Amino acid sequence: MRCPPPWRESVVLGFQHYIMTLGMTVLIPTVLVPEMGGGDAEKAKVIQCLLFVSGASTFLQTWFGTRLPTVVVGSFSYIIPIMSIVHAKRYRTYTDPYERFTHTIRGIQGALIASGCFHVVMGFLGLWRGAVRFLSPLSVVPYVTYTGIGLYHLGFPMLTNCVEVGLPALIVMYLNPIISPKRPIYDRFAVLFTTAIVWLFAQLLTSTGVYNNKSESTQNSCRTDRSGLISGSPWIYLPFMPFQWGRPTFDLGEALAMIAASFVSLFESTGTFYAAARYASGTPVPPHVISRGTGWVGVATFLSGITGSVTGCTASVENAGLMALTRAGSRRIIQISAGFMIFFSVFGKFGAIFASIPLPIIAALNCVFFGYVISAGLDFLQFCNLNSFRTKFVLGFSFFLGISIPQYFTEYYHVKHQVGWLNDMICVIFMSHTTVAAFVAFVLDITLSRDDEEARKDCGLPWWEKFSVYSADHRNDEFYKLPCKLNELFPAL
């Protein structure tokens, strides 16, 4: 929507976006902090730091970046180089867990600061703009589509960690168009309804002792009292204190491996920006705006390194999908969600209550929202000529290699993993479905689909190029005809 919904509705919708950011914000520290030697208190502080960085960076992105309604969250792409730092030999000598945690996180901070600087240079100096300007609707299709597909492991595989909770959440989400086909009350607030219903169900299962004799992993995934966040979180905590764990340490190899993860984050953020623009009733984002937006994502990663929030940042795919479900693409909503992030990052006990939502519930929501982002990529097919065999080849080949190449490197990493920064750089790039699919489509598109005017029409360039200028506004008539009042599109709630 060009104009935001009423304030009361915006607050509720903003809170939904905040709930969705908790998935990645909680998952990454839950995986990493125990490996680093940290306990529940350290995990809670890292989550609060990451939540604060997400909120502050979301404000910066909506004010000075792409100005799209996009949320900035922690990125899963940094896991490989971070795990290499965690398992580095120089940290194994520390016998005290807390001492090992502080030294490890200082090493991660140094690598994140270097990674953030690389990201900032790519964005603000226009280097990423130089690459993005060669895109076309044909190459954007696998680009955006794999932005959603590439996170498949955060959907159903994570849901199956607790089927008793995850599957009901997926079913309740599926029922939303059936319950309110004409009055989209449930449709717009499906996250709140689904989370509340299934969370209560999970609490009931926990209280009745269903999981008492289950394995430790099952209990950690299913029980509502195993996160340790409520007991480990302080009432009030200032997560924006720089270098709270000590002075960062720098290692060249670790920094290069983290820069490779930052390179992958460039691809992921760009795909999310295109999806968000599509669902926010906007036209394709010009290259200079994409480059500026990725520059501010780099600032977010730099802030992550300063505050000690464990991982780098990217634009949130799940929040772009939520925008499609609610049909409310307003910056006001996203800025309200950023306010919730900052508030709950400071008042830790209150934020820990919502951060204790079982992750299989979030995984069920991801199944829906990643699907919406995939659809946003396929939406660009309408501007391509699908009767052209060149178009078919570019699409088919990039889609196939986008699955096949990451699968090979995933097996190589898990079966023949060799510790080393060069190995991490190669694996983190080629294990990314988005990066591989986008790069293959980009190369094929510029070499096979632009040799004559007919080929240019096949890949949709005549329509696309008018949105890549600096001095004119070519938004379509439908954009200007969008009503400002939400109730003109939807019945009164």
Q: What is the DSSP string of 407-436?
A: HHHHHHHHHS---SHHHHHHHHHHT-HHHH
Mean pLDDT of 199-210: 89
pLDDT score recorded for residue 459: 87
Residues 6+ apart with CB under 8 A from 385: 391, 457, 458, 459
pLDDT bucket at 181, cuts 50 / 70 / 90: low
Lowest-confidence segment of 162-171, 351-360, 363-372, 475-484 by average pLDDT: 475-484
Answer whether residue 475 shows pLDDT above 50: no
- The label of the residue with tokens 């969370």 reads 199
pLDDT bucket at 486, cuts 50 / 70 / 90: very low
Q: Dihedral (C-alpha) 173, 174, 175, 180: value to the nearest 10 degrees?
A: 80
Answer whether residue 162 shows pLDDT above 80: yes
pLDDT score recorded for residue 233: 82
CA-to-CA distance for 424 and 402, rounded, in angstroms?
19
pLDDT score recorded for residue 469: 66
Answer whether residue 473 shows pLDDT above 80: no
pLDDT bucket at 422, cuts 50 / 70 / 90: confident
pLDDT score recorded for residue 182: 58
pLDDT score recorded for residue 225: 82
CA-to-CA distance for 90 and 443, rounded, in angstroms?
41
pLDDT score recorded for residue 101: 93
Q: Are 83 and 323 in contact (CB under 8 A)?
A: no
Strands (E), 6-144: 72-74
> What pLDDT digit, counting tens, does each position of 249-278 carry?
999 999 999 999 999 999 999 999 999 999
- The label of the residue with tokens 């090493």 reads 107
pLDDT score recorded for residue 306: 94
Mean pLDDT of 474-488: 42
pLDDT score recorded for residue 478: 42
Q: How far is CA 250 from CA 50, 106, 305, 308, in A?
A: 21, 8, 11, 14
Answer whether residue 490 shows pLDDT above 50: no
How many CB atoms within 10 Å of residue 481?
A: 8
Answer whether residue 27 shows pLDDT above 60: yes
pLDDT bucket at 493, cuts 50 / 70 / 90: very low
Q: Are 78 and 258 in contact (CB under 8 A)?
A: yes
pLDDT score recorded for residue 178: 67
Residues 6+ apart with CB under 8 A from 447: none
Lowest-confidence segment of 103-107, 148-152, 231-235 by average pLDDT: 231-235
Both tokens of 393, joined, read 């080849």
- The label of the residue with tokens 């090979």 reads 408
Lowest-confidence segment of 181-190, 208-217, 248-257 by average pLDDT: 181-190
pLDDT score recorded for residue 351: 85
**Which backbone phi and psi does 74 adopt, to 5 degrees?**
-65, 150
Lowest-confidence segment of 52-66, 203-217, 445-459 by average pLDDT: 445-459
Answer whether residue 484 shows pLDDT above 60: no
pLDDT score recorded for residue 281: 76
pLDDT score recorded for residue 56: 95
Mean pLDDT of 289-301: 95
Q: Where are the alpha helices (DSSP H) in 280-316?
A: 287-307
pLDDT score recorded for residue 362: 93
Query: Residue type at 59?
Result: F
Q: Are 344 and 29 in contact (CB under 8 A)?
A: no
Answer whether residue 4 shows pLDDT above 90: no
Mean pLDDT of 339-345: 94
Residues 6+ apart with CB under 8 A from 398: 139, 142, 437, 438, 440, 441, 444
- Helix and strand counts by DSSP (H, E) for the chain: 25, 2
pLDDT score recorded for residue 183: 57
Answer whether residue 145 shows pLDDT above 60: yes
Both tokens of 161, joined, read 């960690």
pLDDT bucket at 308, cuts 50 / 70 / 90: confident
How many CB atoms within 10 Å of residue 89?
A: 7
pLDDT score recorded for residue 1: 46
Answer whether residue 483 shows pLDDT above 50: no
pLDDT score recorded for residue 226: 79
**Which backbone phi and psi does 458 adopt, to 5 degrees?**
-60, -35
CA-to-CA distance for 357 and 22, rounded, in angstroms?
9
pLDDT bucket at 187, cuts 50 / 70 / 90: confident
CA-to-CA distance for 25 and 219, rounded, in angstroms?
21
Inter-axis angle of helices 421-430 and 433-448, nearest 10: 70
